[in-house]
Structure formats: C-alpha cells, structure tokens
Amino acid sequence: MPVRELGLPVRVSSPGGLPERVTIWEVGPRDGLQNEQAVIPVEVKLEFLDRLAGAGLTTIEATSFVHPKWVPQLADAEELLAGLRFRDGVRYPVLVPNERGLDRALAAGVRHIAIFASATETFANRNLNRTLDEQFAMFDPVVTRARAEGLDVRGYVSMCFGDPWEGAVDPAQVVAVGTRLLDMGCSQLSLGDTIGVATAGQVESLLGAFPSVEPLAVHFHDTYGQALSNTLAALRLGVSTVDSSAGGLGGCPYAESATGNLATEDLVWLLDGLGVRTGVDLDALADTSAWLAGKLGRPSPSRVVRALRG
Ligand code: HMG
Ligand code: MG
C-alpha cells in the first residue's frame, strides 16, 4: 500500500520555535533547468511552470535574463514569458544581472526580479565576469531602476559557506555583501550554499551574524545531504522563506561541484510532518517531478519523489 494511503508522514503539532507557515520559493524552472545538459523545449518548461502553480506553489522563479551565451539553457526567456499563463496569487520572479537584463525583463512584463551577488572574489569573477566590488556597480542601477518601476527585488548571496576555489567563507564577508544588497533596496536576501557544503552549526553562526533574520531566506544545495538539516536549523532561528527545487534538480554551471537544490518534495514532507503549512499539494508536486523526470530521461534525485513514485 502506498505510504500516503497509510496517512504518512505522521503529523505532529508544530513544535515551538518553528514558523506556522513557510513560503517556498520554487527555483526548479531556473536553478534546475539552467544546469541541464540538453536544452528543454519551451513547451515543456511552460507545462512545468503551470503544474507547479497547480500544485500550490505561489512563488516560482521562472527563468533568467542573463547573457544567452553564458546560460544557453535559458536563452528562451522572452518566449517563455510570452507563453506563460500568469495565475492569480502566483509570483514569477526572474534573475537579472545587469541593466541589459532589466530592459529585457521589463519588456517581457516581469514584476519581480532577483539580482545575484557573490560572497567571494573568485565566484564573482567566474559567474559575473566582475570583481567583488564591480558586482555592486553592476547591480546598483538595476535595483534603483527596478524599484522606481515598482518591482520587487530579491538579492541572492552565493558561496555563503564554502567556495570551491577559496575554501571556507568568513560569515563577516557574507554579512558585508548582504548588507550592501539590502542597503541598495533589496526586500529579501537569500543566502546560498551554492556547492552544498554547509552543516547546521555553520547555518546558525551565519544567521546569528546578521542583525536580524527578518529579511533572510535560505537556499541550500544538497551535495552532501545536509540541505534538510540546514533548513531545519534556519527555521528554528526564525527564517520562514525557503528556496527549493521540484524533484531536486539544480546546480550552477559556473560552480564546479554544485549539485541539485534541496528538493521541494523533501522539504514539504518534512514540513507536513511538522504541521507547518506550505499550501503545497505533495502528491500533485511528486506527479509533476515524475513527469519531468520522464522528459529529462532520468530519475528524480529527490528521495521523496522516488519513495512516492518509484
Ligand atoms: P559580460 O560578458 O561581462 O557582459 O557578462 P558585458 O556587460 O561586457 O556585455 C557584453 C555583451 O553582452 C554586450 O553586447 C551586452 O549587451 C550583452 P554587445 O554590446 O557586445 O553587443 N549582454 C547581454 N545580453 C543579453 N542579456 C543580458 C546581457 N548582459 C550583457 N543580460 C554577465 C556579464 C553578468 C552578463 C554574464 O556574466 C552573465 O550573464 N552571467 C550569468 C551567469 C549565471 O546566470 N549563473 C547562474 C545563476 S547564479 C546561481 O545559480 C546561484 C544561485 O542559485 C544562488 C546559489 O546557489 O548560491 C542564484
Ligand atoms: Mg542555486
């Protein structure tokens, strides 16, 4: 008998110290598909986005307006936005690195953007072709113009815990970069463990180094299987927005050793079990990831998808 019919996961009332509700920031169509070897047809991407919204996700990062030669997998951003069925109550943020990207996003009717900074010099250079300092000069006019147009702007900080070239990252460096993004006008800061090396103690140290957790979200890749325990550590410290990717797809083409994000199904299984509300229908989501795995020609890396859909 499938475990869902047995009433699993067993729900307990939400223990103290956890938020009653968590906002899931779904990054599968962007972080997931940017890392695929094959270019996925736009029709498949559109169905993926629509199924995610149908499963109850209300924030779905749709694509990136980056240089198409840097990320050819998302070069169809305009076509995707033109074909997207915008659903009421669902936000579709996109990544924007610079003013050229912002022009393209505005022309496509985007209302929510995310800029993405690096906590380390090497990754700023590899991912953005800028020095650590130059990245701020690139982002500043983007945030100013976007805010003037009434757009919401999220800021990512990548390599918050470890960097494949520079090793361990000092929390003070992450706080310095994050503070500059917040001062520019970002409404939220997503702290990225781009290569998935963090453990829960490091998460506590980093979150504790910020003056407030209120603007913070977390973005864990699952390379070393720590993403769920890291998320739980963040939730216990008051974070209530968590990034994850349907089916556990993901990775960054400019960071060696980056693997998939925390799978949204694994996150929802945990939160359902804890009685923390997400608004996500786990069965509809697992169906979506099983369907996409069929299109990609390989099984989903999510443990929960494999357990539920074999
Ligand atoms: P660059 O080569 O330095 O660009 O790339 P440039 O400013 O020198 O411009 C060169 C030419 O590119 C110009 O054309 C521009 O117009 C054009 P020309 O005048 O020579 O004809 N151009 C563009 N065209 C279209 N769209 C644009 C654009 N920008 C410039 N947006 C750039 C700099 C930032 C553009 C490049 O490095 C880039 O696109 N990087 C993106 C890399 C990326 O997307 N990485 C993955 C996302 S980050 C991630 O996954 C981490 C995250 O998940 C969090 C975590 O896990 O930690 C967010
Ligand atoms: Mg990522």
- What DSSP element (H or E) covers 114? strand 112-118
Give the number of the ligand closest to the Cα of residue 72. 1
Per-residue exposure over 215-232, b if at least 16 CB sit within 10 Å of its own CB, e if not: bbbbbbbbbeebbbebbb
Provide the residue-wise pLDDT of the chain in tens; the chain has 310 residues: 556 666 677 666 556 689 999 999 999 999 999 989 888 999 999 999 999 999 999 999 999 999 999 999 999 999 999 999 999 999 999 999 999 999 999 999 999 999 999 999 999 999 999 999 999 999 999 999 999 999 999 999 999 999 999 999 999 999 999 999 999 999 999 999 999 999 999 999 999 999 999 999 999 999 999 999 999 999 999 999 999 999 999 888 888 777 899 999 999 999 999 999 999 999 999 999 999 999 999 999 999 999 999 8
Give the nearest ligand 1 atom to 98 CA: 31
By the 10 Å C-beta count (0-12 exposed, 13-18 middle, 19+ buried), 207 is classed as: buried
Strand-pair partners of 270: none
Which residues, judged by CB distance below 6 Å to any ligand atom, belong to the binding site of ligand 1?
A: 31, 34, 64-67, 70-71, 95, 97-98, 100-101, 104, 116, 127-129, 156, 158, 192, 194, 219, 221, 252, 254
Tokens 């325990």 appear where?
229
Cα–Cα distance, 73 to 196 (Å, whole number): 22
Domain over 96-309 is classified CATH 3.20.20.70: yes
By the 8 A CB rule, do 277 and 298 touch? no
* Residues 6 or more apart whose Cβ sits within 8 Å of residue 83: 42, 43, 46
Please choose from 36, 63, 66 the residue to mutate so as to test ligand 1's pocket, defined by most ligand atoms within 8 A of CB.
Answer: 66
Residue 56 CB neighbour total at 10 angstroms: 16
